């Protein structure tokens, strides 16, 4: 069974990539792949956020 990625795991990976992007340490030829990976982590984070938001809404209302 595929392990479900937690928000903190996704956020940590995203943070590491952002640090690299901001510091300019990435080789330019590696940049498209890093950008793609960052976008994927952002999408995962957004999906978890959406699900969490909905779950809380369901519990509280």
Partner 1 sequence: MSTIQHIRLSELTKQLYDSIQNQFGAESYWISARAMNVKKYISNRRCYLSLEENYNGAKVAEMKAVFWSDYYHEIEKFEHAVQQAFTDGVEIICRVKVRYHAVYGLNLDVVELDIAHTLGALELERKQTLEHISQVSKGLVKEVDGMYVTPNNSLLIPSVIKRIALLTAAASDGERDFKKELHENKHAYSFHVDTYACTIQGDQAPALIKEQFSKIMNSGIKYDVVALVRGGGSLSDFKPFDTFEVAFCVAHYPIPILTGIGHDRNQSICDLMAREFKTPTKVAAWIVERNFEFENRIISLKRDIYDSVSCILNEVRVQLATAKRIVQLSDPETIINKGFAMLMQQGQIITDLDHLHKEIPLDIHVKQGNIITHIKEIQNQYGEED
User: Considering beta carbons, is residue 1 or 52 the nearer one to partner 1?
Assistant: 52
Q: What are phi and psi of 26, to 5 degrees?
A: -85, 135
User: Considering beta carbons, is residue 3 or 11 the nearer one to partner 1?
Assistant: 11
Q: Is 16 in the site for partner 1 (CB under 8 A)?
A: no
Measured torsion, CA atoms of residues 40, 41, 46, 49, in degrees rounded to the nearest 10: 150
Helices and strands counted in the chain (H then E): 2, 0
Q: Which residues bind partner 1 (CB under 8 A)?
A: 7, 11, 14, 17-18, 21-22, 27-29, 31-32, 35, 38-39, 42, 45-46, 49, 52-53, 56, 60
């Amino acid at each position: 069974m595929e392990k479900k990625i937690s928000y903190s795991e996704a956020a940590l990976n995203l943070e590491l990539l952002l640090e690299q992007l901001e510091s300019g340490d990435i080789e330019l030829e590696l940049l498209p792949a890093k950008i793609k990976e960052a976008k994927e982590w952002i999408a995962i984070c957004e999906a978890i956020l959406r699900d969490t938001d909905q779950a809380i809404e369901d519990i509280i209302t």
